[in-house]
Amino acid sequence: MQDPIQLELSRRDLLISSAATVAVTGVAGSAAAQSAGKQMAYVTKVNFTVNGERRELDVDNRTTLLDALREHLHLTGTKKGCDHGQCGACTVMVDGRRINSCLTLAVMHDGDEVTTIEGLGQPGNLHPMQAAFVKHDGFQCGYCTPGQICSSVAVLEEIKANIPSHVTGDLNSPAQLTAAEVRERMSGNICRCGAYSNILDAISEVGGITA
């Protein structure tokens, strides 16, 4: 049978060696994490035009266009909603086409022209779509309204450009500006307040839909 004194010493040695191993591993892991963090923290200079003004930013490559607009340029009209591209609150227009700014990186838009809700109109000089939303009470809380308005403006341009949607019946004929087309194209912009019918009325007025 093993001597109790030797057993006690071996246990003590085991604990000491285990603690030393954990300490060394922790230090090495921390150093590796810091090294990896330094390697990943790449910054890129981005030049783009935002609401008609040339802007230059030094941004972390992981920065979304949404965060660049809100946190770097302080254009907080563009809202952060789900941050997964499902609600449409962050919709802006890039080179005339609407996108979810939470799903794209700022570095991907070097040289592009970005339009946010602040670039469409200002108090006292509203864009026709903004005025129509006010007239038809197309919002309640208003949080998602900037994205809805940017999307609405782009929707009318899509139809003018004959870009089809899932409800376009004849792909060989010009796209028709109908309520069904507008509903389908606006389906990516959620209104938690349920003002959908009023939003449709606003877009219909600006687009000239009579039925």
Q: What is the 3-state secondary structure (H, E, C) of 133-188?
A: HHHCCCCCCCCCHHHHHHHHHHHHHHHHCCCCCCCCCCCCCCCCCCHHHHHHHCCC
Rounded to whole angstroms, what are the CA distances from 94 to 58, 63, 108, 110, 199? 19, 17, 11, 11, 22
CA 62 to CA 59: how far, in whole Å? Answer: 8
Pairing state between β 91-94 and 113-115? antiparallel
Q: Which residue has the tokens 């389906």?
A: 187
CA 89 to CA 77: how far, in whole Å? Answer: 10
The domain spans of the chain are 43-207
Rg (CA), the chain: 27
**Could you tell me which CATH number the domain at 43-207 has?**
1.10.150.120
DSSP letter, residue 192: T
Is residue 139 a contact partner of residue 145, using CB atoms and an 8 Å limit? yes
Could you give the dihedral angle defined by the CA atoms of residues 114, 119, 120 and 124, in that order, rounded to the nearest 10 degrees?
180
Could you count the other beta carbons within 10 Å of the beta carbon of residue 187?
A: 13
pLDDT score of 3: 55
pLDDT score of 169: 82
Q: Which residue has the tokens 């060394």?
A: 24
pLDDT score of 16: 66
pLDDT score of 68: 98
Residue ranges, the chain, pLDDT below 50: 5, 7
